[in-house]
């Protein structure tokens, strides 16, 4: 009888192990899906939106174009942020540093972190920083999933026309959330997809509704959408406590 009971136990354990191996470890829906779409996208989708290719450092001159102020009212954007002396700001996807060098004097003796995943972009910022002897800018190499900033250190985050290119938007926003102070704000600037007259490819635009949906998933809520920029949303998000 003992032998028979042992045999039953062994068979039961083998059956349980077999079932465990065939069941998926996580039966929740996949966060990202993959399918064809706009050729300017990477074929990866998040919450119904295809992620766009990252603009390479080869397009740096476009970021510094002479017409940018007129087209995007960049001075107005900086004013919208209501920057104060001593604040710590993070420009995520800082690119050539166009906004970084406009914010740095306004928050001095505070700091501006210039975060980018491309070494070439950061090198360009560092060269300009050295040339101008600016002391309160620090370059940070981010990854596709993290901004690599100190926890609970940032007053305001700026993301200009870059969020829609994040390969891992959910994970990146979680890392931003960790770096943000409890009272911190995220300024999400994206070309308005609701406006067909904005002369930008559709995949490089976002609607307010889509932005709110994606930010909510990472624990943020929309405080306001400042509508004084010619082509872009200026959406201000705070922690959804």
Using alpha carbons only, what angle is made at residue 163 by residues 35 and 226, rounded to the nearest 5 degrees? 130
Sequence-separated (6 or more) residues with CB below 8 Å from residue 79 = none
**Residue 145 DSSP class:** S
Instruction: Give the span between the Cα atoms of 145 and 169, in whole angstroms.
Output: 8
Cα separations in angstroms, 136 against 86, 106, 216: 10, 11, 32
User: Model's pTM, two decimal places?
Assistant: 0.88
Give the model confidence (pLDDT) of 20-72 as tens digits: 343 333 433 589 999 999 999 999 999 999 999 999 999 999 999 999 999 99
Q: End-to-end alpha-carbon separation of the chain, Å?
A: 61
Go through the domains of the chain in sequence order and give each one's CATH number.
32-239 (3.40.50.150)
Sequence-separated (6 or more) residues with CB below 8 Å from residue 194 = 207, 208
Report whether 234 contacts 228 (CB < 8 A): yes
Give the model confidence (pLDDT) of 138-197 as tens digits: 999 999 999 999 999 999 999 999 999 999 999 999 999 999 999 999 999 999 999 999
What are the DSSP E strand ranges found in the chain? 32-34, 41-46, 49-52, 88-92, 111-116, 137-141, 154-160, 180-192, 205-206, 220-226, 232-239
Q: Tokens 């101008």 belong to which residue?
A: 132
pLDDT at 1 over 80: no
Output Rg (C-alpha) for the chain, integer angstroms.
Answer: 23
- Helical ranges in 112-239 per DSSP H: 119-132, 169-179, 208-217
Sequence-separated (6 or more) residues with CB below 8 Å from residue 7 = none
Output the six-digit token pair for 191: 């070309």
Output the six-digit token pair for 9: 């136990």
Per-residue pLDDT band at 88 (split at 50, 70, 90): very high
Give the model confidence (pLDDT) of 108-153 as tens digits: 999 999 999 999 999 999 999 999 999 999 999 999 999 999 999 9
Q: What pLDDT shows up at residue 2?
A: 40
The sign of the torsion formed by the CA atoms of 20, 26, 29, 35 equals negative
pLDDT at 8 over 90: no
- Helical ranges in 47-162 per DSSP H: 60-63, 68-72, 74-80, 100-107, 119-132
Q: Tokens 């994206």 belong to which residue?
A: 190
């Amino acid at each position: 009888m003992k032998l028979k009971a042992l045999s039953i136990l062994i068979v039961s354990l083998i059956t349980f192990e077999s079932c465990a191996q065939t069941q998926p470890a996580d039966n929740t829906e996949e966060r990202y899906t993959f399918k064809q779409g706009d050729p300017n996208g990477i074929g990866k989708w998040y919450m119904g939106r295809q992620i766009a290719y990252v603009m390479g450092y080869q397009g740096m001159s476009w970021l510094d174009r002479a017409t940018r102020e007129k087209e995007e009212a960049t001075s107005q954007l900086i004013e919208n942020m209501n920057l104060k002396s001593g604040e710590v700001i993070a420009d995520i996807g800082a690119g050539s540093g166009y906004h970084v060098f406009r914010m740095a004097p306004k928050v001095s003796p505070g700091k501006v972190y210039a975060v980018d995943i491309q070494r070439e972009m950061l090198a360009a910022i560092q060269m300009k920083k050295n040339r101008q002897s600016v002391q309160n800018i620090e370059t940070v190499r981010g990854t596709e999933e993290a901004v690599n900033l100190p926890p609970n250190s940032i007053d305001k985050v700026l993301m200009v026309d870059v969020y829609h290119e994040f390969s891992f938007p959910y994970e990146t926003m979680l890392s931003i959330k960790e770096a943000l102070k409890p009272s911190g704000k995220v300024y999400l600037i994206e070309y308005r997809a609701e406006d067909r007259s904005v002369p930008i490819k559709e995949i490089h635009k976002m609607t307010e509704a889509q932005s709110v949906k994606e930010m909510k998933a990472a624990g943020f809520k929309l405080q306001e959408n400042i509508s004084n920029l010619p082509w872009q949303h200026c959406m201000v998000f705070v922690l959804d406590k």
